[in-house]
Chain A
Amino acid sequence: MNLILISAIWGIVMMFSGLFLKSKSSAKTVALIGSIALLIGNFFDLSGKMIIDSNFNGMLQYERFGLLFLTVLILALIMYILLSGKEVEAVGNHPFEYFALIFFVMSGAGLVALFNNLLILFIGIEIISIPLYILTGSDKRNLKSNEAALKYFLMGSFSTGIMLMGIAFLYGATGSFQLEQLMMQPQEDYKVFMLIGIVMIMVALAFKVSAAPFHFWTPDVYDGAPTVFTSFMATIVKAAVFIGFLNLFANAFGNKTGNWQMTVAIITALTLFIGNITAVYQQSVKRMLAYSSIAQAGFMMFSVFAINDMAKQGLLLYAAAYCFATIGIFAVLVKMKDYTFDGFNGLAKKQPLVALVLTVCLLSLAGIPLTAGFFAKYFVLAAAVKTGTYLWLVIFAVVMAAVSVYYYFRIIQAMYFKEGEGQEMAITTPFKALLLTVAAVVILLGVYPSLLLNWLTFF
């Protein structure tokens, strides 16, 4: 509860501080203070000390897993603010408002991670989505940004409608919004409603995490939005929706194996295929990362598909590995003028440290051992193997992982092996230190993932 409250309040604080603080650069500082407050609040959540100790008639549940997941998100948020905070100021004249919106998103993430009632899930998803529509269009003078925002808004609203309808169907079948009620088998006559409800919610959530075939908005929106917000949307937001996705299926439909699992398997395979294959053909690194985020979503879908202890650990690790690596890459990307692959040519000569960090992050995204990405992929795949069925899906996924090596390594090749000038970048020493921290975390989790996972059992 702390996290939800603090982030909502801090969002308002940010808006008001915009009125009183004239210097744009102070926005980053205020945001940083807020995010640290979030971290502390969440820590108290984990140890059971809450500002308002109420679960609102069972509409929220304080699971350790959800809270731990939020910790990862907050840590990623802190890293995001540290690495990209300056760029937020460059987007437009209202940095305080942008950060306020980001805090509102975090509040929504809190609801999604802890919901125990479909309505809370719905409200959480909407609280996450609406600020994003605005952030996408925040570069007001850029036509692409406007178009992206409109597109995102229209399609997002549509998926919201579908989700509501799904919830209505589920309510019709079971007479309740509570997850434990949904666990019970409905009467024979209502089984169809149940199934339709599940599929509709699945579709809506698949849209939000940009899983195929509901991914079409992703490249355009990610490309159109100011890069610094793309970074936020592709990482923290995506992970936040996934936790909702997993919670819903684990706590509400987990016992109803069968039909929905097949559907998830098909969505997973499609997502992996489309994300990876299309990413291969991209010329712009930003668009490549948009498609790669689709591909990564495919791997995260495995946790929804498998639903066991391994899957939960896997999603936790995946969120950490993916968020940190992607935020690191985007932080560098924003500093560059040329977003094509050629823009990276010869970067290793000019900026050896940046190139090294990028390499570590890219290796992690590709899932190469010694990086966090390897164990992230390992866990989600192991979770799927553990179910004992659908082994073809796992084999398909690893082949797709090999495809992903192609586009991730294109950047490494450009940086190290191709001749080029390397772009001028305004990179300060603290920024370099932060980048190094990202790389260190990625490697640390890659050698010893228990560091994070032990938290699941301790506390």
Chain B
Amino acid sequence: MTALLLILVPLIGGLVTFFVKQESQVKLWSFVVSLVTLVAMSVNLLMHDEAGRSFTAEWLPMLGSSFALQMDGASTLLCFLTALCYPIIFASTWKSSYASPNSFYGLMLLAQAGITGVFLAADGLLFYFFWELALIPVYFLCSKWGGEKRIAVTFKFFIYTFIGSLLMLVGLLYMYYQTADASFSMQSLYAVKLSAEQQSWLFWLFFIAFAVKMPVFPFHTWQPDTYEQSPTAVTMVLSALMVKMGLFAVIRWLLPLFPDAAVQYDNVVIGLSVIGMIYASVLAMQQDDIKRLIAYSSIAHIGLMAAALFVNNESGLQGAMIQLFSHGVNVLGMWIVIELIERRFGTRKMSELGGLAQKAPGLTILLVIVALANVALPLTNAFIGEFLMFNGLFKFNVWYAAVGGLSIILSAIYTLRMIQKVFYGNENTLTATGEDINWFEKASLAVIVVAIFVMGVYPKPVFELTTDTVTLILGVFK
């Protein structure tokens, strides 16, 4: 039942939000709705309620598609991430105010329903349905509440992802006709035997859809602009959760469906990812706008995960799994800090900031922890993930690991430079007016810091959770 609740609660909650009038009530209501999903998810995890993690109902019997939801390790992890991030997002942006707040928060919750649906769907058509459904609210969110160039930028994002999705739909249809029982269910699709030639072009139909979402070089061009132009709350959803849809889709659909093609093209995918890592890191170093900096650094981190998914060994896959969660948490932390800075000082430009540490020591400490996690310092969660992933990459091919490893150094350069420019040095007229963050904002950052350390020191529960997914994928390849 939990599986169904995770979709239904934000869906119904979101629809209700549209009819709430007052801004404070809207905020409180959506925060409560997001808390309910978190509680449901946590209870499920603590109780080890396996039965609650799947759900099936009749939907379109004539098409061989059913409303089937199922949580395996990876999707449990990501459902938890979604449920965890949403209350944090709502709490940390509590002070921001949006025109027509009811539509804003309503759409945010609908996006949550869509994203969670993607992580849960165990039916090809249902998966496609949610995949698109997650996109629509985000389109409206960015276009309506974003920055100056929002309309054009969001539109580009929409078209990119829509083309990708449609190509996937064609592939999915083709797969459907190959199934033995004319069904879209995940098991039937997994069971399809495809020739090498079929696999090789179906692989690309699916991969492009996922690559745009992740995004992997060269399908990434929509990403920095969209992140920059979106309201920060939406950027949080995009980077912490939506990009995970692409990675998750690779784990759940691409690799099990086309294992031979995945081996055939692993060099292409990993090559592109590594190029993207370096390329994005270099660009990140040149940014003055912190939001764009994080956007580019995110491409680099995602690139590593994309590469690790294709290395076909346990440590790479396991690292990618844990990093799915870690990256979500860390990047969310970074956005919160940026949101706080922007709301206080009205700018995101490093050149206009400086000396914040004296005015806002609390914020500084929390930011530095998050930033160091972003650089993957030992003891933090990202270290575990990145170490495993590089280990996996190293086993696959030393050169990829060596070149990709440069991105760690570059990451340290731009992150530390950012900390230095924004928080240290001399105050200027703008930053002299600043004050420290309130307890509410501290609390939301504190949750993230706790998550960073807990996972950095004791990642075992996550490993245990995702073992089944890793075994499944490695099993397919053998």
Taking a contact as CB atoms under 8 Å apart, the answer to whether B177 and A450 are in contact is: no
One of A89-97, A136-144, A242-250, A381-389 contacting the partner: A381-389
The chain B residue sitting closest to A400, CB to CB, is B166
Taking a contact as CB atoms under 8 Å apart, the answer to whether A402 and B162 are in contact is: yes
Taking a contact as CB atoms under 8 Å apart, the answer to whether A398 and B166 are in contact is: yes
Our count of residue pairs bridging A and B at CB distance below 8 angstroms stands at: 69
Taking a contact as CB atoms under 8 Å apart, the answer to whether B155 and A409 are in contact is: yes
From A374, A391, A402, A413, contact of B151 by CB (8 A) = A413
How far, in whole Å, are A417 and B147 apart by their CA atoms in the complex?
A: 12
Q: Mark B118-136, 1 if CB is under 8 A from A, else 0.
A: 0000000000110011001
From B144, B158, B177, contact of A409 by CB (8 A) = B158
Taking a contact as CB atoms under 8 Å apart, the answer to whether A369 and B128 are in contact is: yes
Taking a contact as CB atoms under 8 Å apart, the answer to whether A398 and B167 are in contact is: yes
How far, in whole Å, are A406 and B132 apart by their CA atoms in the complex?
A: 16
A172 within 8 A of B: no
Chain A residues contacting B143 (CB-CB under 8 Å) are: 413, 416-417
The chain B residue sitting closest to A401, CB to CB, is B166
Taking a contact as CB atoms under 8 Å apart, the answer to whether B62 and A399 are in contact is: no
A368 within 8 A of B: yes
One of B168-176, B299-307, B446-454 contacting the partner: B168-176
Taking a contact as CB atoms under 8 Å apart, the answer to whether B62 and A453 are in contact is: yes
How far, in whole Å, are A402 and B166 apart by their CA atoms in the complex?
A: 8
Report A367 CB to chain B, min CB distance, Å: 8
B174-207 residues with Cβ-Cβ distance < 8 A to A are 174, 176-177, 205
Taking a contact as CB atoms under 8 Å apart, the answer to whether A368 and B169 are in contact is: no
A410-459 residues with Cβ-Cβ distance < 8 A to B are 413, 416-418, 448-450, 453-454
The chain A residue sitting closest to B167, CB to CB, is A398
Report A385 CB to chain B, min CB distance, Å: 4
A405 within 8 A of B: yes
Report A379 CB to chain B, min CB distance, Å: 9
Chain B residues contacting A370 (CB-CB under 8 Å) are: 129, 132-133, 136
A394 within 8 A of B: yes
How far, in whole Å, are A402 and B209 apart by their CA atoms in the complex?
A: 13
Taking a contact as CB atoms under 8 Å apart, the answer to whether B169 and A417 are in contact is: no
B291 within 8 A of A: no
From B132, B163, B177, contact of A399 by CB (8 A) = B163
Chain B residues contacting A374 (CB-CB under 8 Å) are: 132
Q: A369-B128, A416-B143 are in contact. Are A399 and B166 (CB under 8 A)?
A: yes
How far, in whole Å, are A243 and B136 apart by their CA atoms in the complex?
A: 33
Number of interface residues, chain A, beta carbon within 8 A: 30
A378 within 8 A of B: yes
B159 within 8 A of A: yes
Chain B residues contacting A368 (CB-CB under 8 Å) are: 132, 136
A395 within 8 A of B: yes
Taking a contact as CB atoms under 8 Å apart, the answer to whether A369 and B132 are in contact is: yes
Chain B residues contacting A454 (CB-CB under 8 Å) are: 62
Chain B residues contacting A378 (CB-CB under 8 Å) are: 169, 173
Q: Per DSSP, are chain B's interface residues mostly helix, strand or loop, or mixed?
A: helix
Q: Mark A361-383, 1 if CB is under 8 A from B, else 0.
A: 00100001110001000100110
Number of interface residues, chain B, beta carbon within 8 A: 27
Report B10 CB to chain A, min CB distance, Å: 15
Chain A residues contacting B163 (CB-CB under 8 Å) are: 398-399, 402
B140 within 8 A of A: yes
Taking a contact as CB atoms under 8 Å apart, the answer to whether B62 and A385 are in contact is: no
Report B259 CB to chain A, min CB distance, Å: 22
B53 within 8 A of A: no
B409 within 8 A of A: no
B240-288 residues with Cβ-Cβ distance < 8 A to A are none
Taking a contact as CB atoms under 8 Å apart, the answer to whether A417 and B144 are in contact is: yes
B150 within 8 A of A: yes
The chain B residue sitting closest to A348, CB to CB, is B144
Report B155 CB to chain A, min CB distance, Å: 7
How far, in whole Å, are A385 and B155 apart by their CA atoms in the complex?
A: 29
How far, in whole Å, are A449 and B125 apart by their CA atoms in the complex?
A: 14
B32 within 8 A of A: no
Taking a contact as CB atoms under 8 Å apart, the answer to whether B174 and A449 are in contact is: no
Taking a contact as CB atoms under 8 Å apart, the answer to whether A395 and B132 are in contact is: no
The chain B residue sitting closest to A384, CB to CB, is B173
Report A113 CB to chain B, min CB distance, Å: 23
B51 within 8 A of A: no
B60 within 8 A of A: yes
Taking a contact as CB atoms under 8 Å apart, the answer to whether B144 and A398 are in contact is: no
How far, in whole Å, are A398 and B165 apart by their CA atoms in the complex?
A: 9
Chain A residues contacting B177 (CB-CB under 8 Å) are: 385-386, 388
Taking a contact as CB atoms under 8 Å apart, the answer to whether A406 and B170 are in contact is: no
Q: Mark B137-157, 1 if CB is under 8 A from A, else 0.
A: 000100110000011000100
Taking a contact as CB atoms under 8 Å apart, the answer to whether A385 and B173 are in contact is: yes
From A406, A449, A453, contact of B159 by CB (8 A) = A406
Report A89 CB to chain B, min CB distance, Å: 37
A123-159 residues with Cβ-Cβ distance < 8 A to B are none
How far, in whole Å, are A391 and B159 apart by their CA atoms in the complex?
A: 22
Q: A369-B133, A413-B155 are in contact. Are A405 and B162 (CB under 8 A)?
A: yes
Taking a contact as CB atoms under 8 Å apart, the answer to whether B151 and A417 are in contact is: yes
The chain A residue sitting closest to B128, CB to CB, is A369
Chain B residues contacting A417 (CB-CB under 8 Å) are: 143-144, 150-151
Q: Mark B324-343, 1 if CB is under 8 A from A, else 0.
A: 00000000000000000000
The chain A residue sitting closest to B175, CB to CB, is A385
How far, in whole Å, are A65 and B194 apart by their CA atoms in the complex?
A: 35
Report A276 CB to chain B, min CB distance, Å: 13
How far, in whole Å, are A448 and B57 apart by their CA atoms in the complex?
A: 13
Chain B residues contacting A386 (CB-CB under 8 Å) are: 177
Chain A residues contacting B151 (CB-CB under 8 Å) are: 413, 417-418
Report A399 CB to chain B, min CB distance, Å: 7
From B62, B166, B170, B176, contact of A391 by CB (8 A) = B170
How far, in whole Å, are A378 and B172 apart by their CA atoms in the complex?
A: 11
How far, in whole Å, are A378 and B63 apart by their CA atoms in the complex?
A: 11
Chain A residues contacting B166 (CB-CB under 8 Å) are: 398-399, 401-402
Taking a contact as CB atoms under 8 Å apart, the answer to whether A398 and B60 are in contact is: no
Chain A residues contacting B155 (CB-CB under 8 Å) are: 406, 409, 413
Taking a contact as CB atoms under 8 Å apart, the answer to whether A450 and B62 are in contact is: yes
Taking a contact as CB atoms under 8 Å apart, the answer to whether A402 and B159 are in contact is: yes
From B60, B140, B162, B173, contact of A381 by CB (8 A) = B173
How far, in whole Å, are A369 and B172 apart by their CA atoms in the complex?
A: 15
Q: A370-B133, A398-B170, A413-B151 are in contact. Are A450 and B162 (CB under 8 A)?
A: no
How far, in whole Å, are A370 and B134 apart by their CA atoms in the complex?
A: 11
How far, in whole Å, are A453 and B144 apart by their CA atoms in the complex?
A: 37
Chain A residues contacting B140 (CB-CB under 8 Å) are: 416
Q: A369-B129, A386-B177 are in contact. Are A449 and B158 (CB under 8 A)?
A: no
The chain A residue sitting closest to B146, CB to CB, is A417
Report A389 CB to chain B, min CB distance, Å: 12
How far, in whole Å, are A221 and B143 apart by their CA atoms in the complex?
A: 35
Chain A residues contacting B150 (CB-CB under 8 Å) are: 417
Chain A residues contacting B158 (CB-CB under 8 Å) are: 405, 409
How far, in whole Å, are A101 and B441 apart by their CA atoms in the complex?
A: 68
From A395, A405, A413, A416, contact of B170 by CB (8 A) = A395
Report A440 CB to chain B, min CB distance, Å: 14
Which of the listed residues A363, A368, A406, A454 has the most CB atoms from chain B within 10 Å of its own CB? A368
Chain B residues contacting A448 (CB-CB under 8 Å) are: 60
Chain B residues contacting A388 (CB-CB under 8 Å) are: 177
B38-79 residues with Cβ-Cβ distance < 8 A to A are 60-62
Report B196 CB to chain A, min CB distance, Å: 17
> Can you show 17 pairs from A to B with CB atoms below 8 A apart?
A368-B132, A369-B129, A370-B136, A381-B169, A385-B170, A385-B173, A386-B177, A388-B177, A391-B170, A394-B170, A398-B167, A406-B159, A413-B143, A416-B140, A416-B144, A418-B151, A450-B61
Which are the 7 A-B pairs with shortest beta-carbon distances? A398-B166, A402-B163, A369-B132, A385-B173, A369-B129, A417-B143, A417-B151
Q: A369-B132, A381-B169, A385-B174 are in contact. List 7 more A-B contacts (CB 8 A).
A: A368-B132, A374-B132, A395-B205, A402-B159, A402-B166, A405-B159, A416-B143
